[in-house]
């Protein structure tokens, strides 16, 4: 990691030593070709965080859209790391966290906007629930509708069976058939969860260091699931509070739906191997194969209707199916 860090070009200005020493929180934003979104995220973070002294570090993953220059120009008090290569979400966060000195770390996606003092509320909640270890909030889409992807329950043999054979899609509001999303729960109550998503992910630095940060095999997707499940093994139980609300677009840095599905499939295959009992792993991998095969066939058939939307879905699932020999092996 030190060798990589030495290759990075660091720009921008840190907050002065006196301010940094008083910070309780280091906010880590990993950006990749999300110029306008990252600027909006930083503006709302500054405007809506009143009670929590914090330092911001933006790690730019070799963006080609002028993100780094725009951030440096508008936010000279932010520490900006310009990477010469896209090192991925997990490694970028690990690099920044390794030099942080604050009690708390907050991972914040660049395609977010902070609402109504969400960070202050999340910090207060975390201090009141020290046994949780990891904390998240409620996410909404730009139109204000619920975005359920702030937290999940872990994959199980039953959940991957339901997903593979369409039971989850048929009954999304059922916690029995849609256990990973916790059915129709609106993320409007305090609740223990298995996984807090990295778009808004608060953790004590001591726990982060104890866990060794993210597993660097997870280039994108799955890294926070793995970290939360490892935290659970040593007695922590992540929690969500609806009081901490942000807007999150989801997938703003993904190039295509097909490439995103391939990365998600690879992460899920890796999580199965890493966190399931060995006897269940072959079943889980078979369900992942079925998941892709059924959808590639179904959307391929629908594409024959000539619908533009069906054709786009068919192309994405065809890409996912063709890459199965890679993602079924995991990272």
* pLDDT, tens only, 180-221: 999 999 999 999 999 999 999 999 999 999 999 999 999 889
150 in Cβ contact with 249 (< 8 Å): no
Question: How much is the pLDDT for 13?
Answer: 29
Residue 11 pLDDT > 60: no
Residues 6+ apart with CB under 8 A from 128: none
Question: How much is the pLDDT for 219?
Answer: 85
> Whole-angstrom Cα distance, residue 147 to residue 250?
9
Q: What is the pTM of this model?
A: 0.90
Residues 6+ apart with CB under 8 A from 170: 177
Residue 14 pLDDT > 50: no
> Whole-angstrom Cα distance, residue 199 to residue 205?
17
> Whole-angstrom Cα distance, residue 257 to residue 262?
9
The neighbour count for residue 307, using CB atoms within 10 Å, is 12
pLDDT grade for 255, boundaries at 50, 70 and 90: low
In DSSP terms, 136 is beta-bridged to 240
Residues 6+ apart with CB under 8 A from 244: 118, 119, 121, 122, 125, 135, 136, 137, 138, 200
* pLDDT, tens only, 59-102: 999 999 999 999 999 999 999 999 999 999 999 999 999 999 99
Question: How much is the pLDDT for 256?
Answer: 83
- Lowest average pLDDT, out of 20-34, 98-112, 160-174, 315-329, goes to 20-34
* pLDDT, tens only, 108-149: 999 999 999 999 999 999 999 999 999 999 999 999 999 999
Residue 225 pLDDT > 70: yes
């Amino acid at each position: 990691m030190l060798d990589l860090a030495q290759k990075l070009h660091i720009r921008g200005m840190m907050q002065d030593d006196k301010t940094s020493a008083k910070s309780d929180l280091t906010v880590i934003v990993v950006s990749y070709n999300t110029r306008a979104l990252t600027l909006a995220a930083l503006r709302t973070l500054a405007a809506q965080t009143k009670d929590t002294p914090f330092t911001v570090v933006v790690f730019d993953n070799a963006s080609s859209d002028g993100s780094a220059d725009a951030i440096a120009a508008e936010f000279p008090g932010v520490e900006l790391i310009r990477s010469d290569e896209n090192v991925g979400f997990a490694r970028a966060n690990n690099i920044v966290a390794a030099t942080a000195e604050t009690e708390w770390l907050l991972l914040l996606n660049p395609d977010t906007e902070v609402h109504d003092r969400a960070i202050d509320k999340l910090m207060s909640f975390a201090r009141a629930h020290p046994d949780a270890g990891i904390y998240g909030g409620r996410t909404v889409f730009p139109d204000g509708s619920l975005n359920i992807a702030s937290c999940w329950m872990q994959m199980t043999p039953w959940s991957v069976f339901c997903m593979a054979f369409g039971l989850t899609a048929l009954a999304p509001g059922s916690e029995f058939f849609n256990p990973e999303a916790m059915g129709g729960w609106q993320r409007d109550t305090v609740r223990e969860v298995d996984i807090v998503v990295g778009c808004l992910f608060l953790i004590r630095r001591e726990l982060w260091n104890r866990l060794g940060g993210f597993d660097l095999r997870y280039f994108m997707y799955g890294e926070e699931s793995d970290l939360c499940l490892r935290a659970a093994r040593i007695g922590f139980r992540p929690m969500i509070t609806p009081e901490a609300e942000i807007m999150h677009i989801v997938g703003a840095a993904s190039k295509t739906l097909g490439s995103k599905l391939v990365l998600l499939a690879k992460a899920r295959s890796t999580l199965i191997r890493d966190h399931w009992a060995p006897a269940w792993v072959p079943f889980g991998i078979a369900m992942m194969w079925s998941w892709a095969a059924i959808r590639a066939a179904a959307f391929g058939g629908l594409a024959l209707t000539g619908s533009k939307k069906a054709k786009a879905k068919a192309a994405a699932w065809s890409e996912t199916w063709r890459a199965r020999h890679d993602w079924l092996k995991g990272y």
